[in-house]
Amino acid sequence: MISVEKFKETKLPPIEAFYDTLNEEPLKPADYVRAQKIWTHFKIQNLQQYRDHYLLSDVLLLADAFENFRNSVIADNELDP
């Protein structure tokens, strides 16, 4: 985001606006289609809601991964990380 005003936008930017700086490549069309489906399915109204949804999903996935790791360590080593 280059400006707080961007959060007020009511639709996804075009696919050309997305770029994967880690791999230095444009966004894959399938990923853009998935973003559009998420936008529609969750009735997202602006980019701030989309960002919030993304962050919540990211945190929940991380928490789930850690809980699985924790359960494995407890079962295998009787230690609680």
CA distances 50 to 11, 57, 65, 72, 78, Å, are: 10, 11, 23, 33, 40
pTM check: above 0.85: no
28-59 pLDDT, tens digit per residue, is 999 999 999 999 999 999 999 999 999 999 99
Instruction: Give the residue ranges of DSSP H helices in 1-81.
Output: 29-41, 47-77
**Residue 16 has what pLDDT?**
95
CA distances 67 to 29, 53, 58, 80, Å, are: 33, 21, 14, 11
Tokens 């069309």 identify what position?
29
**Residue 74 has what pLDDT?**
96
59-72 pLDDT, tens digit per residue, is 999 999 999 999 99
User: Of 19 and 1, which is predicted with more confidence?
Assistant: 19
